[in-house]
Amino acid sequence: MANSQGKIFGINGPVVTVKGCDSFEMQEMVYVGNEELIGEVIGVTQDTAIVQVYEETTGLRKGEPVKGTGGPLSITLAPGIISNIFDGIERPLKDIRNISGSFIERGLKVNNLDEEKLWDIKIKAIKGDYVTGGEVIAVTQETSLLEHRIMIPPNVSGIISWIAPDGKYKISDVIAKIISGEDTIDVTIKQRWPIKKARPYAKREPISKPLVTGQRVIDTMFPLAKGGAAAIPGGFGTGKTMTQHQLAKWCDADIIVYIGCGERGNEMTQVLDEFSELIDPKSQRPLLDRTVLIANTSNMPVAAREASIYTGVTLAEYYRDMGYDVALMADSTSRWAEALREISGRLEEMPAEEGFPAYLASRLSAFYERAGYVTNLNATEGSVSIIGAVSPQGGDFSEPVTQNTKRFIRCFWALDKSLAYSRHYPAIQWLTSYSEYLGELEDWYADNVSGDFIEKRNAIMAILQEESSLMEIVKLIGADVLPDSQKATLEVARTIRAGFLQQNAFHADDTYVPLEKQNKMMDIILLFDRRIKQCVEKGVVLSRVKESGVADDIIRIKYSIGNENIDAPFKALAEKINQTFDGIMYGRAK
Amino acid sequence: MAIEYMGLNNIQGPLAVIEGVDDTFYEEMVTVTLDSGEKRIGRVIEISGDKAVIQVFEGTSDLSLTNTKTKFMGEPMRLPLSREMLGRTLDGAGRPIDGLGDYFADEIRDVNGQPINPVSRDYPNNFIQTGISSIDCLATLIRGQKLPIFSGDGMPHDELAMQIARQAKVVDGDDKSGEKFAIVFAAMGVKHDVANYFRKSFEESGVLGKVVMFLNLSNDPVVERIITPRCALTAAEYLAFKHNMHVLVILTDMTSYAEALREVSSSKGEIPSRKGFPGYLYSDLASLYERAGIVKDAEGSVTQVPILTMPNDDITHPIPDLTGYITEGQIVLGRDLSLKGVYPPVSILPSLSRLMKDGIGEGFTREDHSDLANQLFAAYSKVEDAKSLASVIGEDELSEMDKKYIAFGREFDSQFLTQGHNENRSINETLDLGWKLLAMLPKGELDRVSDEILEKYYKSAEENAE
């Protein structure tokens, strides 16, 4: 079919109306105007199509042509994605810089991926094999950390009639020919996929493994599962971005997709700089070797901001299909929702809550449902975990984006302003946060860390709960009037807050804490809890416990005990605590 | 080419509509000439078929459907740029109003600018010493940062901005003579007195020759206000990235700017979101704030200090709220401190500088800076807790520790926060002062400081006395 063409009729911000063509399809990608700006058809009526443009529309004239491409907005999937930084529609920002300098000009034509680079390809399939979608036919080392598995596109199957030998190829080279029915299909290294359509898989699997992040408040208190979805809501300055960065650095996924959606330019630069320098502790390679960045900063065109989320999740699914665990960070989904609102407003659609369109909830659910732990078409297992930051207006969690997000995620890390003000980071409020994955992960923790891990976690949570109800009283009458048993609870809770929940992202050891150490820290805290309660029963004055400095020792564990060879120092500390308490309770017992 | 369209088809608030226009483009500039000979400028903000909606910068008063001739200029809003702009005063749309005539333009640029490619940004980490303890120590300003001042009516934000502009210097910078330093000042809807205050202060401190002023005063046309910060930032980018200067941009008052945006939006009949502000307020503000930064291909920098007055001192109002989500931190002024006579009344707990972590510490300021700042924050938040408890049970009933915190808080307000309008403290003075105050608290309370730093810098009150 010849590509359709129309003419610009009206322009309002990123929304352009087109007349003179009735063959545009919904979600078709189009080129707008003489500069060929990229756009997408978002509405079709008799003789009129509505197009959202992914670039600035200043200078567009009425009557300029709008050309259809015959297909939906798609991105290129091939080696060369990892370590790269793209804009919202997969245009590599480094190449854009080479063309237009420090600033991003409009209507630039760049390839999504490097088409010239030769990849060292090892062929895995042989002629005569019957292959189906998703099957791996070749591999190449994409980065030092990652083997890229080249797959048959999902909708193709048949018998291999010809296959290339091992060697160096460009991504557009044909490496296999497949006979499917009457047709012969050329399979290239690269494939294209429409961003708004989820890539298929064989079967969804139940959640069973945690995404280990090395952050105590997350791993121990509110764990996220591989294949799960989490939200981090918080007002400005509560540390959403810091938390996302920490997760991107330390979580045990194979690949990180980091989407800067409508956020600050300097933050993306920081991620780029920092991840090139930071070394992955397991592989001793730069973290950037497992990371792909998508940057659509707040001053870049708003329609591309809407696309950036889909581009990111499509890239994540592509690597999942190869059998990898992928973690996707979206910072921030509120900016994406606002992009929807802005475009909806320009279309003069009937607004629902706070001006957001009525389809906000369905779009959010469609996005978060692309997370999952699956068996792929090629029978490998892979996962996409989604961590979305939410920036509620005025820090008020009752606004539509937070509320609707809450319905589709199962792990909620609520950031709290007053914690952030007192520089308690990560400022995840333990009373309002939750993780529904706790039950499903209990077995994993029991098998891999400690049989009573979840039990201990619950004991700590109970102490914090009790503290919060005591604080209500303290706020009214002061802590001095409380009985000793309750003062003891406050003291234990203080050590939990400062020693366990609070974590220093800038400290070499404390920035990432293995589960083993988290477990032992809980042991020590619960030991302290038991001993201090014994003191209270014996009627020992609590101030003596305070003077002994035991609590300070526990709070300093994060600095005083490293991450390796931890058994001996923890044992020594436990002994010291026991001796100190024995001393307090029974006099000079040695 | 230069067709003039007689008359208008519709006038609504600051917007005029012309029909039968065939050859215009989005955001094209227009001039509207009245019968009296008066010329006004405007911009196409919507095209629908042969209908063009024009935003008239000087307002639509005196316009009728028949008394105008409209000409489309064939170009978007552009600003002539030159080094000669330094020392000049321009109106809100970039036309000289100081009676010195036009300057020779070296280059003409679209005021909307273009987004900086994140790849070509250089991550800012040059500490700017403002000489103000609360800012230097706790919400450090970094070259290339956008750090707004959240204030309220009647608080001394202008004095504070002025003091920053006067004292700002980069420690150990290459630019000792201040040769490469420039200030771009944009006033949006501010009072005459305020504009005068800034002009006088620039003059007194002898920097007027390094300042470009864009003035849209409170009785100037509302719509022009939308273009003012764009002109200012275009000038700043030009000076920074073409002439390698370090430009400090002061934008005041962002609240008036956002209100102007709301006014235009509602005359266009757009669907409002929160408090009547348009849904694109975030994107619009971002298109201004994100123009701060440093790029790899030039040596200059654009540092922004926008000032906004929070309506009713409400930090959750859309303007401060959205601003806080875009800018790299904020300096919040507190009404209670201001009433107590503390100058500058920086309310430290909600204040924050996001870029601070990479611009302080060894090699930048001093090794103890980060720990000290965290400890001061933590201690001050305990002061607040103690104060609220004291307001219920009375100060006498507080525990010994809480009393110590109350005393610490008092000294902190009067020694650390309070300083003179011309008092310029070095970073070392500021940090030492912080440690002197922390000495009022027992060592065991300082849980945010690493052992080595504590050993090296903490001296108890008795030791200090010796």
Of A11, A264, A423, the CB nearest to B26: A11
- As beta bridge partners, residue B12 has B15
Q: Is B362 on the interface with A (CB under 8 A)?
A: no
Residues A216 and A219: their CA atoms lie apart, in Å, by: 5
Which residues 527-556 of chain A have a CB within 8 Å of chain B?
549, 552, 555-556
Q: What is the pLDDT of residues B31-46, one digit of tens each?
A: 999 988 888 888 898 8
Residues A420 and A422: their CA atoms lie apart, in Å, by: 5
Please choose, from the candidates A357, A363, A382, the residue with its C-alpha nearest in 3D space to the C-alpha of residue A310: A363
Q: What is the pLDDT of residues A238-273, one digit of tens each?
A: 888 889 999 999 999 999 999 999 888 898 898 888
Of B290, B377, B392, the CB nearest to A299: B290
Residues A58 and A107: their CA atoms lie apart, in Å, by: 12
Contact A291, A248 (CB under 8 A): yes
Q: What is the pLDDT of residues B386-433, one digit of tens each?
A: 998 898 888 888 888 899 999 999 999 999 999 999 999 999 999 999
Q: Which residues in chain B have Cβ-Cβ distances shorter than 8 Å to A104?
A: 114-117
CA distance A193 to chain B (A): 26
Q: Which residues in chain B have Cβ-Cβ distances shorter than 8 Å to A59?
A: 25-28, 76
CB distance B282–A335 less than 8 Å? yes
> What pLDDT score was predicted for residue A486?
93
Contact B56, B223 (CB under 8 A): yes
**3-class SS of residue A538:** helix
Which residues 410-449 of chain B have a CB within 8 Å of chain A?
444, 447-448
Residues B399 and A360: their CA atoms lie apart, in Å, by: 51
CB distance B279–A266 less than 8 Å? no
> What pLDDT score was predicted for residue A589?
45
Helix and strand totals (H; E) in chain B = 14, 20
- Prior bond of A392 cis (ω within 30°): no
Q: Is B361 on the interface with A (CB under 8 A)?
A: no
Q: Summarize the confidence of residues B260-280 as an average pLDDT.
A: 87
Residues A318 and A150: their CA atoms lie apart, in Å, by: 10
CB distance B46–A299 less than 8 Å? no
Q: Which residues in chain B have Cβ-Cβ distances shorter than 8 Å to A300?
A: 115
Flag whether pLDDT at B308 surpasses 60: yes
Contact B441, B408 (CB under 8 A): yes
> What pLDDT score was predicted for residue B462?
67
Residues A533 and A521: their CA atoms lie apart, in Å, by: 18
Which residues 183-212 of chain B have a CB within 8 Å of chain A?
none
Q: Is A142 on the interface with B (CB under 8 A)?
A: no
Q: What is the pLDDT of residues B239-256, one digit of tens each?
A: 999 999 999 999 999 999
CB distance B118–A269 less than 8 Å? yes
In this structure, what token pair is assigned to residue A225? 């599962």
Contact B345, B163 (CB under 8 A): no
Q: How far is CA A509 from the centre of its chain?
A: 23
Q: Is A464 on the interface with B (CB under 8 A)?
A: no
Q: Which residues in chain B have Cβ-Cβ distances shorter than 8 Å to A295?
A: 118
Q: Is B116 on the interface with A (CB under 8 A)?
A: yes
> What is the residue whose two structure tokens read 């064989």?
A202
Which residues 276-315 of chain B have a CB within 8 Å of chain A?
278-280, 282-283, 286-287, 289-291, 293, 295-298
Q: Is A439 on the interface with B (CB under 8 A)?
A: no
A-B contacts (CB, under 8 Å): 226
Q: Return all residues near B460 (Cβ < 8 A) that are at least 6 apart.
A: B439, B442, B443
CB distance A262–B112 less than 8 Å? no
Q: Which residues in chain A have Cβ-Cβ distances shorter than 8 Å to B144?
A: 266
Q: How far is CA B61 from the centre of its chain?
A: 31
Q: Quickly state the pLDDT bin for A163 (edges 50, 70, 90).
A: very high
Residues A312 and A304: their CA atoms lie apart, in Å, by: 12
Counting Cα atoms < 13 Å in the Cβ hemisphere of B420 gives: 4
Flag whether pLDDT at A315 surpasses 50: yes
Flag whether pLDDT at B172 surpasses 70: no
The more confident residue out of A280 and A306 is A306
CA distance A264 to chain B (A): 6
Q: Return all residues near B221 (Cβ < 8 A) that are at least 6 apart.
A: B14, B57, B58, B59, B92
Residue of A nearest to B444 (CA): A552
Q: Summarize the confidence of residues B276-285 as an average pLDDT.
A: 90
CA distance B448 to chain A (A): 9
Which residues 152-181 of chain B have a CB within 8 Å of chain A?
none
pLDDT, chain A, mean: 91
Q: Is B321 on the interface with A (CB under 8 A)?
A: yes
Burial class (CB in 10 A: 0-12, 13-18, 19+), B242: middle
Flag whether pLDDT at B174 surpasses 60: no
Residue of B nearest to A98 (CA): B120
Torsion of the alpha carbons at A292, A298, A299 and A304, rounded to the nearest 10: 60
Residues A207 and A410: their CA atoms lie apart, in Å, by: 12
Q: Which residues in chain B have Cβ-Cβ distances shorter than 8 Å to A348?
A: 271
Return the DSSP state at A112.
S
CB distance B118–A342 less than 8 Å? no
Name the percent of chain A lying above pLDDT 90. Answer: 66
CB distance B283–A298 less than 8 Å? yes
- Prior bond of A332 cis (ω within 30°): yes
Q: Quickly state the pLDDT bin for A209 (edges 50, 70, 90).
A: very high
CB distance A103–B114 less than 8 Å? yes
Q: Is B27 on the interface with A (CB under 8 A)?
A: yes
Return the DSSP state at B201.
H
Residue of A nearest to B75 (CA): A59
Which candidate in B121, B125, B399 is best for mutational testing of the A interface (most A CBs within 10 A)? B121
**3-class SS of residue A245:** helix
Residues A53 and A38: their CA atoms lie apart, in Å, by: 6
Residues A341 and A554: their CA atoms lie apart, in Å, by: 49
Residue of A nearest to B124 (CA): A266
Residues A189 and A142: their CA atoms lie apart, in Å, by: 13
Q: What is the pLDDT of residues A272-303, one digit of tens each?
A: 888 888 887 777 888 899 999 999 998 888 88
> What pLDDT score was predicted for residue A127?
92
Q: Would the ipTM clear 0.95, i.e. be above it?
A: no
Flag whether pLDDT at B464 surpasses 70: no
Flag whether pLDDT at B465 surpasses 70: no
Flag whether pLDDT at A1 surpasses 50: no
CB distance A270–B316 less than 8 Å? no
User: Could you count the other beta carbons within 10 Å of the beta carbon of residue A69?
Assistant: 14
- As beta bridge partners, residue B251 has B186, B306
Q: What is the pLDDT of residues A512-562, one digit of tens each?
A: 999 999 999 999 999 999 999 999 998 888 888 888 889 989 998 988 899
Q: What is the pLDDT of residues B2-14, one digit of tens each?
A: 678 888 998 988 8
Q: Return all residues near A34 (Cβ < 8 A) that are at least 6 apart.
A: A64, A65
CB distance B117–A93 less than 8 Å? yes
Which residues 236-255 of chain A have a CB within 8 Å of chain B?
236-237
Residue of A nearest to B269 (CA): A348
Residues A526 and A535: their CA atoms lie apart, in Å, by: 14
CB distance A297–B290 less than 8 Å? yes
Contact B351, B336 (CB under 8 A): no
Contact B353, B328 (CB under 8 A): yes
Q: Return all residues near B363 (Cβ < 8 A) that are at least 6 apart.
A: none
CA distance B388 to chain A (A): 8
Which of A240-249, A322-331, B196-205 is predicted most confidently? A322-331
**3-class SS of residue B29:** strand
Q: Is B392 on the interface with A (CB under 8 A)?
A: yes
Q: How many angstroms separate the Cα of B197 from the Cα of each of B57, B202, B250? A: 26, 9, 14
Which candidate in A269, A425, A553 is best for mutational testing of the B interface (most B CBs within 10 A)? A269
> What pLDDT score was predicted for residue B260?
93
> What pLDDT score was predicted for residue A98?
92
Q: Which residues in chain B have Cβ-Cβ distances shorter than 8 Å to A506?
A: 357, 370
Q: What is the pTM of this model?
A: 0.90
Q: What is the pLDDT of residues B130-158, one digit of tens each?
A: 999 999 999 999 999 999 999 999 999 99
Q: Quickly state the pLDDT bin for A92 (edges 50, 70, 90).
A: very high
> What pLDDT score was predicted for residue B399?
86
CB distance A85–B119 less than 8 Å? yes
